[in-house]
């Protein structure tokens, strides 16, 4: 996935105060205690199984046969869990001019309720392990157990929970394609090229604006299962959706997950939440921030080591249970 940290940019400030009013029935500052509605348990074991099942298809590079088969699997899984599924397709152009067929998968719970929240992740794999310590791997595709499959697995487990324990609020779960097609580090003249990250969410955002799509807020889940992961408050999330950041980090602390959600600030990240915000939905990014190591996104980021063996069920549980609680607080 696109994980490029960059300095503060001149983003247009959305009318966040208006769009966040009443977005949570327990809306509060992060210093307050939030009343917790009784909530089902999130199963990290189920999420781990889903990660492994995605990885069994091999790298799900946009437009590949593996992506076609895995996409079919995701559509069937969401439908089997009671969601109404829409597939959104478009051809996208990557850094070197290649055109690829992208496929966003949108699963809706309570589709007739106009009062909605949005959860999203990307499901494609990076075509190039360009951050691998071994240069011989730089042109190989990444299996993407964490950088892709983990967020999708959390969405599917939440979808199962919602089927068994219905809520009234509408929930949209979007699996974005073509997130991880940004210019590889080994490309010549890479600084002169358009960085083609997050192309699937760009397609979605354009259509959402045209269709007048509305949601109270969005949560992007990106690399939410890595060993040693902690989730600092990402910069664009703080800038454009600060009230949601406060609620999520407060809930995580109350649920006993403060070690995974420290009250610290991370960098500014180019990710799918940028496009969701530009579509008018205040959206935050739950993404890891490693202070030490070869990458602030963790040691397996864009390497051949992004495999199920390097996923921590405890991290999956911390993220999944926090977001499950958030949804049931909206009930």
Choose between 30 and 320: higher pLDDT: 320
Average pLDDT over residues 135-142: 98
Residue 296: band (very low, low, confident or very high) from pLDDT cuts 50, 70, 90? very high
Distance CA 281, CA 249 (A): 19
CATH code (residue 14): 3.40.630.10
Ranges of H-type helices in the chain = 16-20, 44-55, 65-80, 151-164, 199-211, 235-240, 242-254, 272-278, 313-328
Give the CA angle between residues 234, 154, 142 to the nearest 5°.
75
DSSP string, 111-137: TT-S-EEEEEEE----S--TT-SSGGG
**How far apart, in whole angstroms, are the C-alpha atoms of residue 118 and residue 106?**
10
Percentage helix, strand, coil, to 5, in the chain?
Answer: 35, 15, 50
> Which residues does 189 contact at the CB level (< 8 Å), separation at least 6?
none
Among 13-27, 168-182, 210-224, 225-239, the range scoring the smallest mean pLDDT is 13-27
Cβ-contact 173, 187 below 8 angstroms: no
Residue 10: the pLDDT is 33
Strands 268-270 and 4-6: antiparallel
The HSE-up count of residue 289 (CA atoms within 13 Å, CB side) is: 18
Mean pLDDT value of segment 223-248: 98
Which tokens in the block code for residue 165?
Answer: 């324990």
Check pLDDT > 70 for residue 17.
no
Q: Is the pTM of this model over 0.75?
A: yes
Q: Which pLDDT belongs to residue 11?
A: 36
Q: What is the mean pLDDT of residues 313-324?
A: 98
pLDDT value at residue 114: 97
Domain that holds residue 25: 4-328
- CA distance readout (Å), 82 to 54, 73, 148: 20, 15, 23
Q: Over the stretch 158-209, which tens digit does the pLDDT of each residue have?
A: 999 999 999 999 999 999 999 999 999 999 877 767 789 999 999 999 999 9
Question: What mean pLDDT is reported for the chain?
Answer: 91
Burial class of residue 40 in the structure, from the number of CB atoms within 10 Å of its CB (0-12 exposed, 13-18 middle, 19+ buried)? middle
Cβ atoms within 10 Å, residue 35: 10
Phi first, then psi: what are they for 91, rounded to 5°? -85, 135
d(CA 25, CA 216): 11
Nearest 5°: the CA angle 251, 154, 221 is 70
Share above pLDDT 90 across residues of the chain, in percent, rounded to a whole number? 86
Q: How many distinct structural domains can be found in the chain? A: 1
Q: Render pLDDT for 64-83 as a digit per residue (tens, 0 to 9).
A: 999 999 999 999 999 999 99
When comparing pLDDT for 28 and 119, which is higher?
119
Beta strand 84-93 with 116-122: parallel, antiparallel or unpaired?
unpaired
251-289 pLDDT, tens digit each: 999 999 999 999 999 999 999 999 999 999 999 999 999
- pLDDT at site 32: 81
């Amino acid at each position: 996935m696109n994980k490029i940290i960059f300095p503060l940019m001149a983003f247009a400030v959305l009318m966040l105060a208006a769009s966040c009013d009443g977005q949570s029935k327990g809306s509060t500052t992060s210093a307050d205690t939030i009343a917790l509605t009784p909530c089902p348990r999130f199963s990290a074991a189920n999420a781990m199984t889903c990660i492994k099942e995605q990885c069994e298809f091999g790298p799900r590079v946009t437009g590949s046969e593996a992506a076609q088969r895995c996409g079919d699997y995701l559509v069937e899984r969401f439908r089997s869990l009671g969601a109404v599924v829409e597939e959104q397709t478009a051809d996208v152009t990557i850094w070197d001019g290649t055109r690829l067929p992208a496929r966003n998968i949108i699963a809706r719970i309570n589709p007739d309720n106009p009062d909605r929240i949005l959860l999203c992740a990307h499901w494609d794999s990076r075509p190039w392990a360009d951050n691998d310590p071994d240069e011989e791997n730089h042109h190989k595709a990444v299996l993407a157990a964490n950088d892709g499959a983990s967020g999708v697995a959390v969405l599917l487990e939440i979808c199962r929970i919602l089927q068994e324990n219905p809520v009234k609020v509408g929930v949209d779960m979007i699996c974005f394609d073509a997130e991880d097609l940004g210019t590889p580090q080994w490309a010549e003249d890479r600084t002169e090229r358009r960085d083609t990250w997050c192309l699937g969410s760009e397609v979605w955002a354009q259509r959402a604006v045209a269709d007048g799509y509305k949601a109270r807020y969005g949560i992007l889940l990106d690399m939410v299962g890595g060993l040693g992961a902690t989730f600092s408050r990402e910069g664009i999330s703080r800038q454009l959706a600060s009230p949601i950041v406060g609620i999520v980090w407060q809930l995580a602390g109350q649920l006993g997950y403060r070690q995974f959600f420290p009250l610290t600030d991370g960098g500014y990240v180019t990710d799918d939440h940028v496009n969701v915000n530009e579509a008018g939905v205040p959206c935050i990014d739950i993404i890891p921030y490693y202070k030490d190591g070869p990458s602030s996104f963790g040691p397996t980021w864009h390497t051949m080591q992004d495999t199920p063996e390097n996923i921590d069920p405890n991290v999956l549980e911390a993220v999944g249970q926090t977001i499950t609680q958030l949804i049931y607080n909206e009930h």
